[in-house]
Amino acid sequence: MKRLWLVAVMVLFAAGGALVYAQSLTVNIDFPFQAGHKTLPAGTYTVEKPDDNSIAIRGASGAAVLVILTQLGRHDVDKDLELVFDKVGDQNLLSEVWFPGQDGYLLLSTKQAHAHAVVGGSNPHR
């Protein structure tokens, strides 16, 4: 009986941890951009981390799920969601996502020359 109770507690703890782990935040992106293989228009999007391996971005006009390439160490103490885009020519490629109070996630590594556009966080710029 004790063993069954321990398994039940572990399952409840894991389920509770998953609920806390799946964070969902809303952001307004005022330019069209590419997320993975999808081109998305300017608009309001929900960004979430549904599991350890991916970031999902959803809006009224479309959605994309991107694979996390690596985790990035926290570089500041932002209390807001921060998205980093690699600007290559006239394209804005979603490359990093930083959730408040957490490390960031690299989604894309751009090899060609590029600049950054930042939406949200403490130092947004285009």
pLDDT tens digits, residue range 54-76?
A: 999 999 989 999 999 999 987 77
Under a CB-based contact definition with an 8 Å cutoff, are residues 108 and 116 in contact? no
Residue 15: which H helix or E strand, with range?
helix 2-21
Instruction: Flag whether the pTM goes above 0.85.
Output: no
**pLDDT at position 126:** 61
Position 78 scores a pLDDT of 78
Taking residues 27-42, what's their average pLDDT? 95
* 92 contacts 33 by C-beta, under 8 angstroms: yes
Each residue of 73-125: pLDDT tens digit?
877 777 889 999 999 999 999 999 999 988 899 999 999 999 988 888 766 66
Mean pLDDT of 20-42: 87
7, pLDDT greater than 60: no
| Non-local CB neighbours of 68 within 8 Å, separated by 6+ positions | 52, 53, 54, 55, 105, 106, 107
Question: Would the CA dihedral through 37, 56, 61, 30 be positive or negative?
Answer: negative
Q: Would you state the torsion angle of the CA atoms of residues 74, 77, 81, 84, taken in this order, to the nearest 10 degrees?
A: -50
Residue ranges covered by each domain of the chain: 25-120
Mean pLDDT of 24-35: 94
Supply the pLDDT for residue 73: 87
Tell me, what DSSP letter sits at residue 121? S
